[in-house]
Amino acid sequence: MNVVVLVSGRGSNLRAIFEAIDAGTCSAKIVGVVSDRKTAAALDLAAERDVPTRVVPLRKIDGRERWNEQLAEEVGMLGPDLVVLAGFMRVLGAPMLRRFPGRIINIHPALLPSFAGHDGPGDALEAGVRITGCTVHVVDAGVDTGPIIAQTAVPVLGDDTADTLHARIQVQEHRLLPRVIHQIAIGAIELDPLRVNTPVSDASRSLTVPDL
Ligand code: GRF
């Protein structure tokens, strides 16, 4: 299964996928890494492994629709079976969703549907929950709203800051994301493109998801 990974930052999840592939526990091939930021450290990780990289910045002058079209074009040229958002900090629009229907997944640092948005760990801390975690879900037109595929719980500790909590969540992300990619690759998780824009509860029922 050919995978294109979309990144905006550090790329620790990208590294985890590479390492799982190296270790033989994730049967996928990363055929490209695409970023909206040319300074994303994740691009260096890909380049070190001779994986093709592309940068598609969102420029005000072009607007979001055009950016989505450019992104869909660049990602499409890499020929993915699956698109993985691993720390990609932008919301995707219709051109991307239409081009890869039901074939885009995202990792989020909270137990969705709680704490969607850009600061899952900080929001969980602020709310005072004792358990949070990470979620892999199918991407739809909303912000972190698509059908949930898999989750791992992480306890919130008394002395946690948003950073220490996020670091412990990331340890679990690095296990969960490669595992889900592997399960999709071997057909144990089936993504149903027709159900992605339906409400979460209906769409979740349309996924075949084993225990991870
Ligand atoms: C992760 O915590 C992920 O859940 C969120 O962005 C962060 C990316 O981290 N969407 P990294 O760039 O993979 O280190």
Taking only the tens place, the pLDDT of each residue in 113-144 is 999 999 999 999 999 999 999 999 999 999 99
Cis status, amide bond into 147, omega within 30 of 0: no
> Mean pLDDT, to the nearest integer, of 18-26?
98
Nearest CA residue ID for atom 9, ligand 1 = 87
Determine the atom of ligand 1 nearest the C-alpha atom of 7.
12
Q: Which residues pair with 29 in a beta bridge?
A: 2
Question: The whole model's pTM is what?
Answer: 0.92
- Answer yes or no: is the C-beta of 95 below 6 A from any ligand 1 atom: no
Residue 126, pLDDT score: 98
Nearest to 54 by CA among 68, 39, 33: 33
13 alpha carbon – ligand 1 mean position (Å): 6
- Answer yes or no: is the C-beta of 144 below 6 A from any ligand 1 atom: no
Residue 66 near residue 94 (C-beta atoms within 8 A): no
170-183 pLDDT per residue, tens: 999 999 999 999 99
Average pLDDT, the chain: 92
59-91 pLDDT per residue, tens: 988 889 999 999 999 999 999 999 999 999 999
User: Candidates 5, 6, 7, 13: which one to mutate for ligand 1, based on the most atoms within 8 Å of Cβ?
Assistant: 13
Q: What CATH number labels 2-206?
A: 3.40.50.170
Which two tokens mark 66? Answer: 């055009």
- Answer yes or no: is the C-beta of 120 below 6 A from any ligand 1 atom: no
Instruction: Tell whether the model's pLDDT for residue 202 goes beyond 50.
Output: no
Residue 71 near residue 57 (C-beta atoms within 8 A): no
89 alpha carbon – ligand 1 mean position (Å): 9
Residue 115, pLDDT score: 98
Better-predicted residue by pLDDT, 193 or 105? 105
> Mean pLDDT, to the nearest integer, of 41-59?
97
Instruction: Tell whether the model's pLDDT for residue 196 goes beyond 80.
Output: no
- Answer yes or no: is the C-beta of 179 below 6 A from any ligand 1 atom: no
Distance CA(22)–CA(102), nearest Å, equals 27
103-119 pLDDT per residue, tens: 999 999 999 999 999 99
Side-chain-side CA neighbours of residue 160 (13 Å): 25
Residue 61, pLDDT score: 83
Residue 191, pLDDT score: 87
Instruction: Tell whether the model's pLDDT for residue 212 goes beyond 80.
Output: no
> Mean pLDDT, to the nearest integer, of 26-42?
97
Instruction: Tell whether the model's pLDDT for residue 29 goes beyond 60.
Output: yes
For the annotated catalytic residues, the residue numbers are 108
- Answer yes or no: is the C-beta of 43 below 6 A from any ligand 1 atom: no
Residue 17 near residue 30 (C-beta atoms within 8 A): yes
Instruction: Tell whether the model's pLDDT for residue 36 goes beyond 50.
Output: yes
Residue 124 near residue 52 (C-beta atoms within 8 A): no
Determine the atom of ligand 1 nearest the C-alpha atom of 41.
12
